[in-house]
A and B are shown apart, each in its own frame.
Chain A
Amino acid sequence: MEPRRDPRGALVRPYAVTRGRTEPLQNIALEAVLSCTPTQVAEARFAGHDKYRIASVCEGRAQSLAEIAAYTRMPLGVTRVLVADMVAEGLLTLHTAAPPEGFEERMNLLGRVLSGLREL
């Protein structure tokens, strides 16, 4: 990565990889988990350098949107646009789009997190 001296450069370059689009197809949460099968990685090879990098990051280990952005060193907004595209194209599997809604489901999740922490 070259240093960003010109603030306009910092604006233009990252969003160039999304062809200037700044709105994702769906607003994926920072912690939403994405995974990629070897087949999907192979398909992503033909989807361009940045998408292939994203697929590679998720191969063998499910990663959150935030992790994908950190490992690829792309800004969060850019990553979100690309990841949402890849989900729509079937190149990535999105696991948790939203936290659970109902009381029982939420209590169950909190209970699992609590015992997970206690077992650490």
Chain B
Amino acid sequence: MDFANYDPAGARRSREIISAKIVVAGGFGVGKTTLVGAISEITPLTTEALMTAAGVGIDDPSKVPGKETTTVAMDFGRITMAQDLILYLFGTPGQTRFWFMWDEIIRGAVGAAVLVDTRRITDAFAPLDYFENRNLPYVVALNRFDDAPHYELEEVREALAIPPDVPLVSCDARHRESVKQVLVTVVEHAMLRLQAEHGRGFPTPVG
């Protein structure tokens, strides 16, 4: 179904279309594209950003040692929610040397889900560190691989030093319902954060 169809009769009077973005972060091979693909209405697409001296301002080639140009690929999906509302899911480039791209990806996002693979739990330190130092609401989602050792959520929280106010959930990135739940958690967390920030800014909390 294509809700975003442009009505030719409505032409330029057509309603504004709003888009929102949720970021899916995590180490290389943790299942980001699988997660996006499980819920996206389109097969995940890839867009390439070219890191060159010409990309200054957006991309910082100085952080890619020994290379003048390189291509950073990011995968993303789309969920058309209404005629005037589209949700995009953006996966971050897995390799940590492409972190400078993350700033562009997270700008204006609703929130993020950091995917963790319990077989390679240390891969999660760097992405978690990144979000710890940004003002973007995020949740941590353990992607349950079949052959992965089983840990209780609280063990993982402790091992990764995830702050108590950051939601931690378990998921299967291959399954739509499970992915949906992760995204719902991201948005709910973002709403709580926004409400809390709003409450702090005013003497009488609203709502």
Contact = CB atoms under 8 A, between A and B. Distances in A.
Given A37-B6, A113-B187, A30 B21 contact: yes
A49 B166 CA distance: 48
Interface in A60-79: 60-62, 64, 66-67, 69-71, 75-78
A52 interface: no
Given A37-B8, A120-B180, A11 B108 contact: no
Contact of A95 (B19, B21, B56): B19
B175 to A, nearest CB: 13
A26 interface: no
Interface residues on A, range: 35 or more
Interface residues of B, number: 60
B194 to A, nearest CB: 6
Nearest to A116: B81
Contacts of A30: 21, 47, 76, 88, 90, 104-105
A56 to B, nearest CB: 13
Interface string B20-62: 1100000000000000000100000111111011111111000
B58 A7 contact: no
Given A22-B54, A114-B187, A99 B108 contact: yes
B193 to A, nearest CB: 10
B88 A31 contact: yes
A117 B20 CA distance: 12
Contacts of B57: 23
B85 A64 contact: no
Contacts, number: 160
B118 to A, nearest CB: 25
A8 B52 CA distance: 9
Contact of B78 (A7, A67, A77, A96): A67
Q: Which of B19, B59, B176 has the most CB of A within 10 A?
A: B19
B122 interface: no
Given A30-B21, A99-B108, A62 B183 contact: no
Contacts of A99: 20, 108
Interface of B: 2, 4-6, 8, 11-12, 14, 16-21, 39, 45-50, 52-59, 67-69, 71, 74, 76, 78-79, 81-82, 85-88, 90, 104-105, 107-108, 110, 176, 180, 183-184, 187-188, 190-191, 194-195, 198
Given A36-B6, A66-B88, A113-B81, 5 more contacts: A37-B8, A66-B74, A114-B188, A114-B191, A118-B180
19 contacts: A10-B69, A22-B56, A30-B21, A32-B19, A37-B11, A38-B8, A66-B45, A66-B90, A76-B49, A77-B58, A98-B108, A109-B110, A113-B81, A114-B184, A114-B187, A114-B188, A116-B87, A117-B79, A120-B180
Closest 9 CB pairs of A and B: A116-B81, A70-B45, A75-B50, A95-B17, A69-B47, A76-B49, A7-B69, A31-B21, A99-B108
Interface of A: 7-8, 10-11, 14-15, 22-23, 29-33, 35-39, 59-62, 64, 66-67, 69-71, 75-78, 93, 95-96, 98-100, 103, 106-107, 109-114, 116-120
